[in-house]
Amino acid sequence: MRCGKMAAPAAGTRGGVRRRCQRLLYWVPVLFISSILCWSYYAYVTQLCLLSMANIGEKVVCLIAYHLFFMLFVWSYWKTIFTLPMNPSKEFHLSYADKELLEREPRGETQQEIFRRAAKDLPIYTRTMSGAIRYCDRCQLVKPDRCHHCSVCDKCILKMDHHCPWVNNCVGFSNYKFFLLFLAYSLLYCLFIAATDLQYFIKFWTNGLPDTQAKFHIMFLFFAAAMFSVSLSSLFGYHCWLVSKNKSTLEAFRAPIFRHGTDKNGFSLGFSKNLRQVFGDEKKYWLLPVFTSLGDGCSFPTCLVNQDPEQVSTPVGLNSTTKNENHLFPPKTLRDSQSHLLTDTQSWTESSANTEKGKVVPKGMSNPGLTVENET
Ligand SMILES: [Zn+2]
Ligand SMILES: [Zn+2]
């Protein structure tokens, strides 16, 4: 006993030190990118533009354009790294009483009953492979649609795309737009450097450059820019495809499961609306790394509501007058969906009671995805 008591704090300290070292190591890829960025700035501005370019007009145009790309690249990279990922709101967490009950009850149907009760007023459409409510043991919460637990961050992340080591952050609902812009601007940055450096790179091989240290910076600058351009263009192209289909990287590998089954395009609303889900309604902000994504990250419009008679809510962003004949809730506009999800649910329930006097929507049935949960 005594040995055990003595060993526990030492093991805890060792574990703490190891975790701190691990956290520091996570910053190595970010330091690597930042170092290359600093060197590329020095190589391009001083060695290529100021020392190697003879034409003053070319020098000025290159310097202005370079600084524009550089600024947008650094801005979007900074925002991707330092924007905290969003976690599910407190409505998704189990109550203290439910947590206690969960600890007492054995796993199985009783546990599912607790989850169903906890989720009855939440806008959840997706399920596990077995059709059960998605629940995170670690965070003790009912997972919102498209939310996943990140093992690196040790948190549930809203609309999690992936954990990116190059930004040492989770890419999800809060920073996905920044991540896309980071890919776009880093690609443009590399392409611009490669294009303007090409003629000097050729001169390097034909002995057209003076024999100074600048020639080696010019050569490596071209190699690095070309190499990063190739890898970034494939990654950026892949994410453009994901945005057009309204999928996350995780969903591209494992399609979301709805009540009626798996559907890989379950959240797709059409190209234009998919684009607006990430970039927002105001086009003037599309190219700037400022947050303009639609929604709250906890609930997402899905066209599948129309195909599932049990999910009677009007899908946000779709023309409900032509597609949804049997909804209990009044049609809502895309902008309405940006308000808080629980406020929405309440307002749906209230207004539907006003508009459809013959029908009574009982409490706990306001979430269409859970109507059958109450019946079974
Ligand atoms: Zn979690
Ligand atoms: Zn993460």
Residues 45-60 pLDDT 10s: 999 898 888 889 999 9
Residue identified by tokens 């005594």 is 2
Tell me: pLDDT of 317 over 90. no
Which residues contact residue 107 at a Cβ distance below 8 angstroms, ignoring those fewer than 6 apart?
Answer: none
Tell me: pLDDT of 246 over 60. yes
The ligand that comes nearest to the alpha carbon of residue 135 is 1
pLDDT tens for each residue of 175-211: 999 999 999 999 999 999 999 999 999 888 887 777 7
Tell me: pLDDT of 170 over 50. yes
- Helix/strand/coil for 112: helix
Tell me: pLDDT of 351 over 80. no
- Find the 338 Cα to ligand 2 centroid distance in Å: 25
Mean pLDDT of 134-150: 95
Per-residue burial over 154-188, b = 16 or more CB atoms within 10 Å of its CB, e = otherwise: ebbbbbbbbbbebbbbbbbbbbbbbbbbbbbbbbb
Q: Give the residue numbers spanning the domain of 26.
A: 15-83+184-245
The answer to whether 297 and 291 have CB atoms below 8 angstroms apart is: no
Q: For residue 109, name the pLDDT band (cuts at 50, 70, 90).
A: confident
Q: What are phi and psi of 345, to 5 degrees?
A: -60, -40
* DSSP conformational letter for 254: S
Tell me: pLDDT of 371 over 50. no
- Find the 283 Cα to ligand 1 centroid distance in Å: 34
Q: For residue 9, name the pLDDT band (cuts at 50, 70, 90).
A: low
Give me the percent of the chain exceeding a pLDDT of 90: 55
> Is residue 336 assigned to a domain?
yes
H/E run at residue 37:
helix 28-42
Whether 164 is catalytic: yes
Q: What is the Cα–Cα distance from 125 to 28, expressed in whole angstroms? A: 39
Of 49-58, 106-115, 274-283, 362-371, the least confident:
362-371
Looking at the structure, do residues 349 and 210 belong to the same domain, yes or no? no
Tell me: pLDDT of 288 over 70. yes
Tell me: pLDDT of 301 over 60. yes
> Is residue 138 assigned to a domain?
no
Q: How many domains does the chain have?
A: 2
The answer to whether 293 and 173 have CB atoms below 8 angstroms apart is: yes
> Is residue 79 assigned to a domain?
yes
Looking at the structure, do residues 286 and 368 belong to the same domain, yes or no? yes
Looking at the structure, do residues 67 and 208 belong to the same domain, yes or no? yes
Looking at the structure, do residues 227 and 280 belong to the same domain, yes or no? no
Q: What is the Cα–Cα distance from 71 to 340, expressed in whole angstroms? A: 34
Q: What are phi and psi of 78, to 5 degrees?
A: -60, -45
pLDDT tens for each residue of 70-106: 999 999 999 999 999 999 999 999 988 888 888 887 6
- Find the 306 Cα to ligand 1 centroid distance in Å: 30
Mean pLDDT of 280-284: 95
The answer to whether 94 and 114 have CB atoms below 8 angstroms apart is: yes
- Find the 60 Cα to ligand 2 centroid distance in Å: 42
CA dist list (Å): 74 to 37, 152, 178, 238:
9, 24, 11, 22
Pairing of strands 169-171, 257-258: unpaired
CA dist list (Å): 58 to 53, 68, 198, 349:
7, 16, 14, 64
- Find the 303 Cα to ligand 1 centroid distance in Å: 27
- Find the 146 Cα to ligand 2 centroid distance in Å: 14
Environment of ion ligand 1 (residues, CB < 5 A)? 136, 138-139, 149, 156
- Find the 25 Cα to ligand 1 centroid distance in Å: 23
Tell me: pLDDT of 333 over 50. no
Q: How far apart are the first and last CA of the chain?
A: 51
> Is residue 135 assigned to a domain?
no
Angle at 375 between CA 371 and CA 376, to 5 degrees: 120
CA dihedral 243, 245, 249, 252 (to 10 degrees): -170
Mean pLDDT of 267-277: 95
Looking at the structure, do residues 220 and 350 belong to the same domain, yes or no? no
Mean pLDDT of 129-155: 93
Between residues 266 and 321, which one has the greater pLDDT?
Answer: 266
Structure tokens at 179: 């991540």
- Find the 183 Cα to ligand 1 centroid distance in Å: 28
pLDDT for position 213: 81
Tell me: pLDDT of 159 over 90. yes
The answer to whether 348 and 329 have CB atoms below 8 angstroms apart is: yes
Looking at the structure, do residues 367 and 269 belong to the same domain, yes or no? yes
Mean pLDDT of 272-300: 95
Of 122-126, 127-131, 368-372, the least confident:
368-372
Looking at the structure, do residues 237 and 347 belong to the same domain, yes or no? no
Q: For residue 62, name the pLDDT band (cuts at 50, 70, 90).
A: very high
DSSP calls for 143-201: PPTT-EEETTTTEEETT--EEETTTTEEESTTTHHHHHHHHHHHHHHHHHHHHHHHHHH
pLDDT for position 23: 83
Q: What are phi and psi of 313, to 5 degrees?
A: -70, 150
Angle at 199 between CA 194 and CA 200, to 5 degrees: 90
Picking from 173, 175, 151, 169, the residue whose alpha carbon sits closest to that of residue 160 is 173
Mean pLDDT of 251-277: 92
- Find the 152 Cα to ligand 2 centroid distance in Å: 5
Arithmetic mean of pLDDT over the chain: 80
> Is residue 222 assigned to a domain?
yes
Looking at the structure, do residues 210 and 296 belong to the same domain, yes or no? no
Looking at the structure, do residues 70 and 191 belong to the same domain, yes or no? yes
Looking at the structure, do residues 62 and 191 belong to the same domain, yes or no? yes
Q: What is the Cα–Cα distance from 92 to 118, expressed in whole angstroms? A: 8
The ligand that comes nearest to the alpha carbon of residue 151 is 2
Tell me: pLDDT of 274 over 70. yes
- Find the 155 Cα to ligand 1 centroid distance in Å: 5
> Is residue 109 assigned to a domain?
no
Which of 139, 164, 298, 303 is flagged as catalytic? 164
Q: How many residues does the chain have?
A: 376
Tell me: pLDDT of 295 over 70. yes
- Find the 244 Cα to ligand 1 centroid distance in Å: 28
The answer to whether 48 and 65 have CB atoms below 8 angstroms apart is: no
